Amino acid sequence: MKVVRFEDLIAWQKAQDLASLIYEKFYGSREYGFKDQIFRASVSVSNNIAEGFERNTDTDFARFLHISKGSDAEVKSMLYLAKRLKFIGNNDFTDGLALCNEIGKILNALINSIKR
């Protein structure tokens, strides 16, 4: 099956799930600098997938997938910090980390499929 819309990509769908999870967990936080940074990074994951897909070239798509991977890693890093600073509990940390790891694997597979 050929993907014709970025909305059909599992990576984009999972990245939207990640952004929703991050917004849910940090929405009420009064750590405004931290909250703003993790919000921006989480939204960037799906936005870069969408933007790259719409560029209609494999080279651009792969480049934006790499940017998305970087944003995914940024969210992951911030989750570690959030846990360390006790902004979130173990369950929220584990859920977020698992989703970041899953997205990273999907993005790697997509990048590799484009390279072939």
What pLDDT is attached to residue 71? Answer: 98
Q: What is the mean pLDDT of residues 11-40?
A: 97
Listed in sequence order, the residues at least 6 apart from 62 whose beta carbon sits closer than 8 Å to its beta carbon are: 52, 111, 114, 115
Domains and CATH numbers, the chain: 6-115 (1.20.1440.60)
What pLDDT is attached to residue 85? Answer: 97
For the segment 29-72, what is each residue's pLDDT rounded down to a tens digit?
Answer: 999 999 999 999 999 999 999 999 999 899 999 999 999 999 99
Q: What is the mean pLDDT of residues 17-31?
A: 96
Listed in sequence order, the residues at least 6 apart from 15 whose beta carbon sits closer than 8 Å to its beta carbon are: 45, 46, 49, 68, 72, 103
Share of the chain above pLDDT 70, in %: 99
- How far is Cα 89 from Cα 57, in angstroms, rounded to an integer? 41
Record the pTM.
Answer: 0.94
What pLDDT is attached to residue 2? Answer: 80
Residue 1 has pLDDT above 70, yes or no: no
> In this structure, what token pair is assigned to residue 86?
């006790």
> In this structure, what token pair is assigned to residue 35?
């909250």
**Using CA atoms in the order 24, 26, 28, 33, what is the torsion angle rounded to 10 degrees?**
-150
Q: Tell me, what amino acid is at 26?
A: F
Is residue 96 a contact partner of residue 23, using CB atoms and an 8 Å limit? no
